[in-house]
Structure 1
């Protein structure tokens, strides 16, 4: 994927930006009309990158929200044109309606998506899908993968910027490792399986803690083993109450009434149970014909149109006939089920009326007995028995759930132990793939830091049993490299991944965006990066997009300033911004 241009529709929100091969400067400088005391922060460098990322279906960032709050720009759409394998594509996304009416597709035949979810899946396949990749990939990963290639200045609480190239987002490292392997074209199946199992294990551990807390607090227990004693005690109390009730005898003159009351209770219970079964049956019938199995034949026709118009029409007709046939079957089944539901509901209503009548009759008997204090002791006994049973059932249920989760936790832990052995063997199998990547890594490092060729630096990928990810994936540089060390790690690793993808023909973005990465680095290395990338651009197609402040990055004297100076950068910049010529023509923040 190569970027072509970024603009607004209608034109005029900001200056159209055309991207070029090689280094793309977004340059901020002071001008004659500027107050010398004004900062270059806020002129719109990061906002432009946020618009680009927004076009690639990111959520609205604080930069965009602030711009919309302070400017009437809701009627604009952000448009991005790009190329993938010699085909030109476009994305258009409204600032006001960010989740619908999204245009994505070939420039001469785009697709309109009502749902951002579908648009993301389509775009993810365009940018990232590799047909011959053997590992795990899913087209829901778009906004998981793109942050590696688009690193912007953000709130440090929500994003990790230039601190660790492996942790390029806030996702856990055990999730990020499979993405890194995907970028390198290496099978990530074992590591994705590890992430899946480990995530499930963590959820079970949290559930166990919560259930343990509920049990100990509710039943005033110190730990789970005490619960078994509590259960046995409750069982004994329940049995004692049941024995007392069995021995209970009403006065002789009330024995017939007691028998009649008991018979009514049995009948009512049976009617309630039959209604319960029929209600479940009605629910099941309704769910069975409410399922939606719609098929959008127009979309399928569109997929075949490019290949053969006649074939696409025939396929659509065949599918339409099949859909109609299936609809007729569904309508017949729905008619049959509706009749069944109606009959069942009539029976339920009849039983309900019987229940009401029997309960009224039983209530009269209880009222008669209550007036003579004949049932007072029996009622209290049943009430106590009910409370004890409820407490016993609740505790037994929670303990059963706790034991089941504990068993599943043990199974997951055993799976992870077995998986680690497989991961260890797999790392040995991919040594050659890692070596190929290291070769590019060393080249990039030595071009930027030639003075450190003989020092300790490199890229590590080795088993680590105690890590959640089960691997130590790390970029390390000389210990004495203190200025911008973390930024340097990201810079070297990201560029290495980019050129590795180009060399191995992996379908990935062939661009990198580094917003402010040189702010804390030695200025000489800025020139070294520029010279290295300009040389690569003579033979490779890629884009390295970076923001540069005249006062921050270029004010010092360093290196070969004749090759990279403010005047040269301004001449080559794809966009130059000043305090009097901001991105939106005003102070958008």
Structure 2
């Protein structure tokens, strides 16, 4: 699969682009001095990659310039001609206005113009978008990348400026590794089935764990033993059946007997016990109150002294002092005893209040039971028994639901154990497969990592390392690093310039390793020379030509200010045959779309 031609039904606004085997240069020339220091020039060289992607059935994206400025581009229909493996050609037709409808036509000659071809001339006309992707996948027949589709491959074949930030994880992939790592592992020669299955089982495990947590919360955080639930359920079902039989027979004799037994043996006995206990407590309280009254000290030393004076007897000071000390001592003892008596009194009164509350409740229950026994209206008895049955049925339903939840919880825990074991098995298999591919010098991965290092070495005279290893969870981690002279990884790859070089080297290395497979053979690199110094640009151009000679269709965009400087200024960097599209900033005719900038 390589590109052959890109054109529209509006040739005056978008001239046809004829691609060739080998190196294809989109050359931008800055002719106006005031534009030389600008970062962007609106020529359209970067836009070309997005047009190719749209023509090869990318999803409709409102952020794309085609739909963001739909009033300008709604009248455009794009045609892309693709060269298939056996030398035949396929043209894909897609309009902006009806982006969800796609038409196809196979033919034997290249550089055709089907912009005016009627519906009857197409092999498949206005195919719905999802089916169109399947059909195009079938027509391209890229069997090596199965079960993935051609759209998975295009991520690494059309590199925009936004796609040079990471060698492996492209911006369009989103956040989930499961969406891109299995495909990447596959084209690098690893067992992608193991990796896909591992992500799948991990997702299943995560969902089961969420379900298990939800059920535990619904059960209130404590999981009852299933045997205990079954036992309580059996008792309540038997009781419910018994009451139902009574209702069905409209016979309340048994119910009357049960109520009377409960009244005599239960309620009355309990009331008698509580009354006896309340009496005892009240007697204790009475004794405490009496003791509190008796503990008051009525003797006053001043009164005794006055009596002595009245009878004419001297009241000695020492005797007065002794009486005062005695009174103080007794007062201290009395106050401590009073504090204990008061505490005991409060406790007794609190217990009496509780007993009174319990006696009131039992009295109400006794009254209701006597009312049931004395009720001559059978309907009221029927109603009372029905209410009891409703409560029982509600309890039974709750227990049944709880039983199902506990059963489901047990099942989930079994499934979680099995999935955990399966994940561990898959992790071990992934580790074994990774070790095998790393150690096999003839493996696809070994070939790609060798070509990758060779390209980087040819461009910047430094070795580079492509590595893949599983982390603690069994997920493959891919790294691309530049090595120093001692063979140790450096931070050089962290700069944007070298990261871009690593991306380009990776793309070319993968294509070279799969030249003999049913695999795409083109790659689009936007701004390939930006930020490199002149000598490295020459080296990279040499690599691009070398790979083009091998059979890789390399489409690159460059701007004249980024070209390598040559000692002989008159010697052109590119052959005229390599430049397939020349753009400039002098007027609208120099842009990709011959119109005002949008």
2:99 alignment partner, SS class: coil
Distance in 2 between residues matched to 1:219 and 1:540, nearest whole Å: 67
C-alpha displacement of 1:58: 0.6
Distance in 1 between residues matched to 2:518 and 2:571, nearest whole Å: 32
Structure 2: where are the runs of 5+ without partners? 110-120, 253-375, 484-489
- 2:496 equivalent to 1:476: no
Structure 1: where are the runs of 5+ without partners? 155-160, 257-368
2:550 alignment partner, SS class: coil
Deviations 1:459-488 (A, max 9, x none): 2244x252443x443322131525323222
- 2:392 equivalent to 1:385: yes
Counterpart pick for 1:466 among 472, 488, 494: 472
Deviations 1:239-262 (A, max 9, x none): 347526625786999449xxxxxx
C-alpha displacement of 1:173: 3.9
- 2:451 equivalent to 1:440: yes
C-alpha displacement of 1:561: 8.4
Task: Give 1:547's aligned residue.
Answer: 557
2:379 alignment partner, SS class: coil
Task: Give 1:583's aligned residue.
Answer: 592
CA contact (8 A) 1:24 1:545 kept: yes
Counterpart pick for 2:412 among 405, 417, 423: 405
C-alpha displacement of 1:435: 3.1
Q: How does 1:232-271 map to 2 (within 5 A)?
A: 232=228, 236=232, 239-240=235-236, 242-243=238-239, 246-247=242-243, 254-255=250-251
Deviations 1:381-425 (A, max 9, x none): 333233323333333333333333332232223223333443444
C-alpha displacement of 1:112: 0.9
Distance in 2 between residues matched to 1:141 and 1:398, nearest whole Å: 42
Distance in 1 between residues matched to 2:206 and 2:103, nearest whole Å: 41
C-alpha displacement of 1:80: 0.5
Q: Is the alpha carbon distance of 1:200 and 1:492 closer, same or farther for their aligned partners in structure 2, counting shifts above 3 Å?
A: same
Distance in 1 between residues matched to 2:205 and 2:570, nearest whole Å: 59
Counterpart pick for 1:148 among 146, 149, 156: 156
CA contact (8 A) 1:162 1:487 kept: yes
Moved more, 19-28 or 484-493: 19-28
Aligned residues: 446
Task: Give 1:183's aligned residue.
Answer: 187
- 2:202 equivalent to 1:201: yes
Moved more, 83-92 or 207-216: 207-216
CA contact (8 A) 1:79 1:92 kept: yes
Q: Is the alpha carbon distance of 1:197 and 1:180 closer, same or farther for their aligned partners in structure 2, counting shifts above 3 Å?
A: closer
Q: How does 1:406-555 map to 2 (within 5 A)?
A: 406-427=413-434, 429-430=436-437, 431=440, 432-433=442-443, 434-450=445-461, 452-453=462-463, 457-462=464-469, 464=470, 466-469=472-475, 471-478=476-483, 479-481=490-492, 482-483=494-495, 484-502=497-515, 505-516=516-527, 518-522=529-533, 524-537=535-548, 539-550=549-560, 553-554=562-563
Distance in 2 between residues matched to 1:523 and 1:422, nearest whole Å: 47
Two-structure CA RMSD over aligned residues (Å): 3.9
C-alpha displacement of 1:50: 1.2
Moved more, 63-72 or 47-56: 63-72
Task: Give 1:334's aligned residue.
Answer: none
2:106 alignment partner, SS class: strand
CA contact (8 A) 1:197 1:416 kept: yes
1:79 alignment partner, SS class: strand
Q: Is the alpha carbon distance of 1:48 and 1:141 closer, same or farther for their aligned partners in structure 2, counting shifts above 3 Å?
A: same
Counterpart pick for 1:167 among 143, 166, 169: 169
Task: Give 1:260's aligned residue.
Answer: none
C-alpha displacement of 1:44: 2.6
Q: Is the alpha carbon distance of 1:118 and 1:239 closer, same or farther for their aligned partners in structure 2, counting shifts above 3 Å?
A: same
Distance in 2 between residues matched to 1:521 and 1:409, nearest whole Å: 53
Deviations 1:515-541 (A, max 9, x none): 34554555543332112222443x323
Q: Is the alpha carbon distance of 1:386 and 1:153 closer, same or farther for their aligned partners in structure 2, counting shifts above 3 Å?
A: farther
Q: Is the alpha carbon distance of 1:399 and 1:47 closer, same or farther for their aligned partners in structure 2, counting shifts above 3 Å?
A: farther
Q: How does 1:20-35 map to 2 (within 5 A)?
A: 20-32=20-32
C-alpha displacement of 1:210: 4.5
Q: How does 1:64-83 map to 2 (within 5 A)?
A: 64-65=64-65, 69=69, 71-83=71-83
2:151 alignment partner, SS class: helix
Distance in 1 between residues matched to 2:568 and 2:205, nearest whole Å: 59
1:473 alignment partner, SS class: strand
C-alpha displacement of 1:103: 1.9
1:71 alignment partner, SS class: helix
2:508 alignment partner, SS class: helix
Distance in 2 between residues matched to 1:253 and 1:437, nearest whole Å: 87
Q: Is the alpha carbon distance of 1:406 and 1:145 closer, same or farther for their aligned partners in structure 2, counting shifts above 3 Å?
A: farther
Distance in 2 between residues matched to 1:239 and 1:561, nearest whole Å: 103
C-alpha displacement of 1:2: 1.6
Task: Give 1:117's aligned residue.
Answer: 130
TM-score, normalised to structure 1, is 0.65
